A and B are shown apart, each in its own frame.
Chain A
C-alpha cells in the first residue's frame, strides 16, 4: 500500500519523537515497504491503523520490531563516509595537535554497539594509514563493545562476507583484506589496534570504567532505548570522553532533548557532538 504524504509525516514525527531517528523524504518508499511487513505481521489494515497500534500499550514492543526492520541490523565497512571524512580532514588532526601540545601521544576510540566489528576495523584502517605521518609513534587503542557475545566472537575472528566489504575503497582493500573462497579476511595489522569486550550500556558499574576516549561512536543503538535510559547512557558517554572529545551517532539520529551538554559541530554531510 502506498503511503500518503500526510501519513508519512505523522509516522515520521512519531518515530522521531520516540526514537530520535528522522526519516528523510527520500526514504519514504523504504519506510513504506518496511511498514507493509509490520502491518501484515500485526494484522493492521491501513497505515493509520498501524500508527494507532504503535500508540497503544503494545506499541513499545512493536516499535522494536519496526526498528529492526528499518535498521536491518546490517553493518558494513565505511558505512558513514561523511563522518569518516570529517574525522580525517578536521577532527583527528585537531585532537592530535591538542594532545601533542600537552605531551600526550595516545589515541583512544570506542565503538559502542560494535556488532561484528566493521566500524572499529574501519577506524583502525584509517588510523593505520596515518601511521607514517600524523600518528607517527602514537599509541592507538580502539575498543569495540557489544552486549551480544556471538557478534563479539565474529568480530574477533575478523572474517567478513562480500556485502560487508563492498564499500571499502580499493586502496584499503588491497592492503588490508585478503580474499579466500568468497570470504574476506582482515590483516593482523588492522586487528592489532582493536579489542572487543562484552558490555551492557545499561550497566552503570561497568560504564564508569570506560575512561578517557577521544572519540566515541554509537550508531543505531540508542534508537532502541527509551528517553530516560538514553539520557543516562549518553551522560555516561559524555563523562567517558576527554574534555575535547567527539561523540558520533548514526545517520539520521538525533539526541535532541536527551542531553543538553553536547555541542553540535557541523560538517559536509552531517554533524557530530563535541564535549
Chain B
C-alpha cells in the first residue's frame, strides 16, 4: 500500500477524534528548559514540583530496581541530582506520556503496551551503546515512543483493534501488516499524525513513521534501525503483543544499516546478547509496575 495513502487515511482517523490526549504542559516546559544551556537543577525541580503526579512518578521510578539507588531517595531534587540532567529528559518525557494515556483503558492492556514500550526503549539504548551511537537518551526515548500509534487504535477503535489482535494470535503475522489490511493504515502513520500534533522533533516523528521500514528514513536512518532491531529483539521475548514474531537477523535491513555504521558489530556475541536481554526483562516489568502504582 502507498505510504501517502496510508498517511491520508491516518489523518482522517485521527482528525475524527476531538479528545486526543495532550502531553502535560509541564513536560513540554521541562524539555524546553533542559534544552537551554547552563540550566540549574533547582529550576527543573521547581517546575516539576508543580505537577504532583509527575513528581510522584519520578520518585517511584528513581527508587525502582532499574535506577538502583544505594538507599531510598526521598526528595525530588536529590532524585534529579542522582539522575543527572541528561536522564531527567528521559524520565520527564516517559512519565508525561504515561500521564497522557493511562486514564483510558484500551483493548491492549495499557500495562502490556508500556512494558513493550519501555522494553524497546531499554534495548534501543543497549544497541545504541554497542554501535557507538552518539545520543543514548535519544535512542531510549525513540524506543519508548515508537508505538504511540497503537494507543490510538487501542483507545479509539477498541473493538476492531481487538479483532485484529485476536486474528493474529500465535500466527506468524506481523501486527503492522494486519493493521494495514484491516484499517488501510497502520500505527506508524497514526503515530506520525499524533506526533505532529504534539510538535515532536522531526527525528522522533521519523522513528514513529519508519520503525518498521528503516531503509525509507532520511533524517536519522541509524536511529530508526536501532529501534527496529530493539523492537524485534524485544518482541520475541514477550507473548502478549502483536502476533508470533520471528526474524532472520542477517536478512534484516536494519542490521545491514547498523553494520555499515559500526563494522565491529559482526563480532557481537548475539547469543549472549539475547540471554542478557532475557535477564533484563523482569526489571522492565518492575519498572512499569512501579510507575503505575505511583498514583497514591
Contact = CB atoms under 8 A, between A and B. Distances in A.
Contacts of B248: 263-266, 274
A263 B246 contact: no
Contact of B271 (A22, A85, A86): A22
Contact of A89 (B170, B239, B251): B170
A264 B271 contact: yes
A267 B270 contact: no
A252 B275 contact: yes
B272 A266 contact: no
A12 to B, nearest CB: 10
B249 A263 contact: yes
A42 interface: no
B269 A256 contact: yes
Contact of B239 (A20, A264, A268, A271): A268
A195 interface: no
A55 to B, nearest CB: 20
B264 interface: no
A89 B172 contact: yes
Interface in A232-275: 252-257, 263-269, 271, 274
B275 A90 contact: no
Nearest to B274: A271
Contacts of A254: 269, 271-272, 275
B244 A266 contact: no
Contacts of A20: 271
A89 B250 CA distance: 21
B271 A255 contact: yes
Contact of B246 (A25, A253, A255, A265): A265
B23 to A, nearest CB: 33
A24 interface: yes
A268 B246 CA distance: 7
B233 interface: yes
A265 B278 CA distance: 16
A85 B169 CA distance: 13
Contacts of B274: 266, 271
Interface string A210-238: 00000000000000000000000000000
Nearest to A262: B250
A239 to B, nearest CB: 20
A24 B236 CA distance: 17
A268 B233 CA distance: 9
A25 B65 CA distance: 15
B232 interface: yes
Contacts of B233: 266
A124 B112 CA distance: 36
B236 A269 contact: yes
B246 A24 contact: no
A51 interface: no
Given A22-B275, A89-B172, A268 B244 contact: yes
Given A89-B244, A90-B172, A268 B236 contact: yes
B245 interface: yes
A176 interface: no
Nearest to B249: A264
Nearest to B279: A25
Nearest to B246: A267
Nearest to A253: B271
A16 interface: yes
Given A89-B171, A256-B269, 12 more contacts: A85-B244, A89-B244, A90-B246, A252-B275, A253-B271, A254-B272, A266-B233, A266-B247, A267-B245, A267-B246, A269-B236, A271-B271
The 6 closest A-B pairs by CB, nearest first: A254-B271, A267-B246, A22-B275, A256-B269, A263-B250, A265-B248
17 contacts: A22-B275, A25-B279, A26-B279, A89-B171, A252-B275, A264-B248, A265-B247, A266-B233, A266-B236, A266-B246, A266-B248, A266-B249, A267-B236, A267-B246, A268-B245, A269-B237, A274-B248
